[in-house]
Structure 1
Amino acid sequence: MKAIVRTQYGPPELLEFAEVAIPVPAGNEVMIRLCAASVNPLDLYLMKGAPWDRMPGLRKRKPMILGCDVAGRVEAVGREVTQFQAGDEVFGVTGFKGNGFAEYVCVAEVSLGLKPENLTFEQAAAVPVAAITALQGLRDKGGIRPGQKVLVEGASGGVGTFAVQIAKAFGAAVTAVCSTRNVDQASSMGADCVIDYTKEDFTRSGQRYDLILAASGHHSIFDYRRLLTEGGVYVAAGGGLFQIFEAFALGPVLSRMGRKKMGFFLTKVTRKDLDFMKDLLESGKVVPVIDRSYRLSEAAEALGYLAEGHARGKIVLTA
């Protein structure tokens, strides 16, 4: 089969569309024939490696197939699998191990769900990591409730487009923060208020929010703290390394100083949450936003576009 393989750390141009062996599902795994996949910041990290991975003499590593978000049809199942059978249309994640950008993919049963009936494979592949990150950030980490004032920073990206819609589905009043070219898109997704960050610094608006989800945070944790109501919650779900470090290191400390809670979390995609999203998607309350579509063989180009940081929604690959 064909797959997108990282043979050494570096830019997208170093990726290879290579011939590799078809995987065999373990006892708890499902093998699917890939119909679509989507790219994520995780793929960029696995492609480039950490700074120490790129030191002279350390560039070469065991070849790795990139890719996490997948959608396709079940071809075979392991002996321990009970929830899926050949022919099922599914979507899910391969996890941090990659292996998703390939014609055949093995996925743990617990990380897979039945594809929403009203979605194409391309739309379904856009969902798992981004939508579950938004869901867990708002619901589990943020404790979202109906009637709350919620701010989503980075409302035009993969996580942000889902966060705006999910927050509205939970009955919140949503303020979306994005650039000028994405204002209309944010409004069309249901945002009650849209702030163009190129014209207005929302951290100095004087407004207060019950929940802030920074899908692409670029401000100090102290700025976010100032924007929270008493008992409010700030959740860092993405952004610059400095903002993530602040949330990870200072969030627990600041959370003990008063009633405002601040922090960072790591997404864990589960079948339960994939099923939850399936219901939202089939009801029409949430619709995946897809910016561009590429062929699987064009994954390097897709990752290059993602790295530019201007994607509006998700970028998908079709097999």
Structure 2
Amino acid sequence: MNGQAMINAKPAQPGAGSRGAAPLMKAAAYGRFGPPEVVQLVQVPKPAPRQDEVLIAVHASTVSVADHRARSRSVPRGLGAFAAYGLGLLRPRHPVLGMDAAGVVEAVGENVTRFKPGDEVIAMLGGAFGGHAEYVCVHQDHAIIAKPRSMTYEEAVTLVFGGLTARGYLNQVVVEPGDSVLVNGASGAVGTAAVQLAHELGARVTAVCSGVNTELVTSLGADWVIDYTSDDFTAHAERFDVIVDCVGNVPLNRMTGSVKPGGALLLVVTDLAGLLRASRRRRKSGLLVTASVGRSRAEDLAFLVGLAEAGRYRAVIDRTYDLVDIVDAHRYVDTGRKKGNVVLRITA
């Protein structure tokens, strides 16, 4: 459904629809870019799975910083043109946000062999979005996997956006026991995942976050904490084998000075200048400098599920909102102060 059609969609009403009409579902959608209030609860046609797709009845999703950026078109400096291409120029290309989903398979296409109705799953939807709705379709070969049996839907969905992003970046480096890893922005969805995954690899983890989040990040495996409100990690003499930058608030040249020779700088968030300088820095310094997360893979999601079921990966949930409170959820994410994940409960 395009943005203009979504603008004209009807607000959700109990029992909406008529005999013979296409089945409808509730969704949180936006027809123009702007503040949280542009998102409305509406009724839209329920999707039907194509031959290679799985139809998921969504129980939970998250409201992530990616949803904030897509809705507000607030992107790092210089990336506005790229955002317009991916998100839409005059109106949203994907009116229903939500990059992840946890729920139950309701139906499958005729070629689907990996899943069956009734399976409990989690899935990464990526740039196609769609998780903030009662139903969503996912190709069976994309990043979709059985939900951890030990987790609720609200807990399990936190593995997806933050976990897969952190895993995608850390997959590009070799972290051995005893290596030093610094995570800048350690208390967010990606940051809390990166701290846990680096700790799982045996690294000595330094977390950069607000001092009020010290207890949180140390409980996840951080060995040291630097309070960014009173200290600058780039001013320290210590260098790190790997820096995972989840914030993009430190100039690239200062961060590369904090990486050991042969080390890696993983830019989860960066601006256009950072993207352009990354390859030059790589050639000049010999460091691995990358701003690419790579492709979301089912095997990486399965790895995270395995850790969770073994009790070695924890869901970090700041707040949980019902779908009807979607505007409040966006308002909270817009503050930039969430810890871990903000979960959206689609189905009670």
User: What interval of TM-score do these two structures reach, taking the shorter chain for normalisation?
Assistant: over 0.9
Secondary structure of the 1:126 match is helix
What's the TM-score once normalised by structure 2's chain length?
Answer: 0.85
Find the aligned partners of 1:187 and 1:284 in 2 and give their Cα distance: 16
1:289 maps to: 316
Equivalent residue letter for 2:285: G
Given candidates 160, 163, 174, the residue that maps to 1:143 is 174
1:300 aligns with 2:300: no
Find the aligned partners of 1:202 and 1:49 in 2 and give their Cα distance: 30
1:124 maps to: 156
Deviation at 1:62, TM superposition (A): 6.5
Deviation at 1:59, TM superposition (A): 4.4
Q: Deviations over 1:229-267 (max 9, x none)?
A: 1111101112xxxx4323311111111113222221135
1:232 maps to: 263
Given candidates 29, 51, 70, the residue that maps to 1:5 is 29
- Unaligned runs of 5+ residues in structure 2 are 1-24, 75-79
Find the aligned partners of 1:278 and 1:61 in 2 and give their Cα distance: 32
2:147 maps to: 115
Secondary structure of the 2:221 match is coil
Percent identical residues: 36
Given candidates 218, 221, 234, the residue that maps to 1:190 is 221
Q: Is the 8 A contact 1:146 1:172 kept in 2?
A: yes
1:102 aligns with 2:133: yes
Deviation at 1:63, TM superposition (A): 7.1
Change (3 A) 1:267 1:128: farther
Equivalent residue letter for 2:151: L
- Unaligned runs of 5+ residues in structure 1 are none
Find the aligned partners of 1:5 and 1:24 in 2 and give their Cα distance: 19
Find the aligned partners of 1:314 and 1:63 in 2 and give their Cα distance: 22
What's the TM-score once normalised by structure 1's chain length?
Answer: 0.93
1:165 aligns with 2:192: no
Q: Is the 8 A contact 1:207 1:227 kept in 2?
A: yes
Equivalent residue letter for 2:283: R
Count of residue pairs brought into register by the alignment: 310
Q: Deviations over 1:44-97 (max 9, x none)?
A: 2332247676xxxx7455672111110000100111211110110000122212
Change (3 A) 1:116 1:204: same
Deviation at 1:268, TM superposition (A): 2.5
Q: Which runs of 4+ in 1 moved over 6 A?
A: none
Q: Is the 8 A contact 1:236 1:244 kept in 2?
A: no
Q: Is the 8 A contact 1:129 1:269 kept in 2?
A: no
Secondary structure of the 1:257 match is helix
Q: Is the 8 A contact 2:166 2:190 kept in 1?
A: yes
